[in-house]
Amino acid sequence: MSRSLLFVTGTRADFGKLEPLAIAARDAGFAVSFFVTGMHMLDRYGLTKVEVHRTPGVQVHEFLNQRAGDPQDMILAKTVIGFSDFVKEHAPDLVVIHGDRVEALACALVCATNYVRCAHIEGGEVSGTIDEIYRHCNSKLASSHFVSSDDAARRVMSLGEAAADIHAIGSPELDFHAAPSGVTIAEVKSRYGLPFDDFGICVFHPVTSEAATMGAQADALFGALDASGKNFVVIAPNNDPGSAAIFAAIDRLPADRFRVLPSMRFAHFSELMKNASAMVGNSSAGVREAPFIGIPSLDIGTRQTNRAKSPSVFFADAAETDKIADFLTTAWGTSYQRHDAFGGGSAADRFAAVLNDDAFWTSDLQKTFHE
């Protein structure tokens, strides 16, 4: 009987990173399923659970873990209870979590307390706000680590994790961007009603520790984008505290130059990025995927602080409207050489190779601190 792998996904973003790994595991003969929760289950964010259901050859289990306005600690508690029941019923051989979201933290905690083998994807990275705290907590709770770079591997080791349990495979979403998207930009424009030939992409998420100022930050940023006279595709923010104020600022944007979308299918988003003149905001896509694709990006604020640096990434606070205007004038439409610091698009193959090694499945789940 094949070993069973359970991938936990709570957002459109982490699914884009987990999907290549899940497909590689499925093709390697593992029984693959998804535990779908978080933003995937909410209408306001495009009900993106449908994207997970489109993955062939996997099982999908849904769990509604929140209502609008729930604080993160309540979402954490609900997810712990629901996932604990699920794990006891289904007994997966390996749970795969990603990154720094509260759903991942809840599931990693359940795995640790029940001695269920757990793999953490893209640990060991630094960034702003509480996301970094969650990410490092997940690394301590998980039994194995699939990181995006050698720098990240060293940080996970500094947390006391064994070198033998750390595997540098690169960023999984780059596997998708490295290949043709499978759709044309004309198909993307038709599907999402995009009238622009020349456009940028903006994704601006709330920063939980700055929830009280997110409205002012959003007003400043979108005001600068509006003043530029350029066209933008705006992807809705995630559901962290402060998102309501960002939605309010987005609602005031002129519809003729700003196309607002709750979410996009990953293939379509990849093709959109490949044809964009620039990316602006505080999404990890701006500091990870945009440099790999070769488009300029402007990272706003603290959310991705110290996450990554490359020649195509620029930085500004939301209130620094002069810097934003300068970026939109001088960097717009510039092409950059592909930045490979986070892999060249082979993460899924490396992930499957580790799973196919018997030693992976025999490592001790009783962890000790390694100096």
CATH of the domain at 123: 3.40.50.2000
Q: Which residues contact 359 (CB under 8 A, 6 or more apart)?
A: none
pLDDT, position 117: 98
pLDDT over 70, % of the chain: 99
**Average confidence (pLDDT) over 124-140:** 88
Could you tell me which of 241, 240, 237 has the C-alpha nearest to residue 222?
Answer: 237
Query: Which residue segment(s) compose the domain that 321 sits in?
Result: 183-330
Q: Residue 126: which pLDDT band, with cuts at 50, 70 and 90?
A: confident
Residue 211 contacts residue 176 (beta carbons within 8 Å): no
Same domain, yes or no, for 58 and 192? no
How far, in whole angstroms, is CA 140 from its chain's centroid?
Answer: 20
* Inside any domain, residue 188: yes
Degrees to nearest 5, angle at CA 103 with 140 and 371? 5
Same domain, yes or no, for 319 and 356? no
Tokens 């990181």 found at: 147
Q: Which residues contact 288 (CB under 8 A, 6 or more apart)?
A: 171, 173, 174, 307, 308, 342
3-state DSSP call for residue 170?
coil
Tell whether the model's pLDDT for residue 1 goes beyond 70.
Answer: no
Strand partners of residue 259: 233
* Inside any domain, residue 369: no
Same domain, yes or no, for 21 and 74? yes
What's the total number of domains in the chain?
2
Instruction: Specify the pairing of strand 31-36 against strand 59-62.
Output: parallel
CA–CA gap between residue 161 and residue 370 (Å, rounded): 6
Environment class of 369 (CB within 10 Å of its CB; exposed 0-12, middle 13-18, buried 19+): exposed
**Average confidence (pLDDT) over 258-264:** 95
Count of beta carbons in the 10 Å neighbourhood of residue 319: 17
Same domain, yes or no, for 144 and 42? yes
What backbone phi and psi angles, to 5 degrees, belong to 216? Answer: -65, -40
Same domain, yes or no, for 188 and 166? no
CA–CA gap between residue 170 and residue 348 (Å, rounded): 9
Tell whether the model's pLDDT for residue 118 goes beyond 90.
Answer: yes
Same domain, yes or no, for 156 and 210? no
Same domain, yes or no, for 195 and 285? yes
Residues 30-60: tens digit of each pLDDT: 999 999 999 999 988 889 999 999 999 999 9
Same domain, yes or no, for 9 and 155? yes
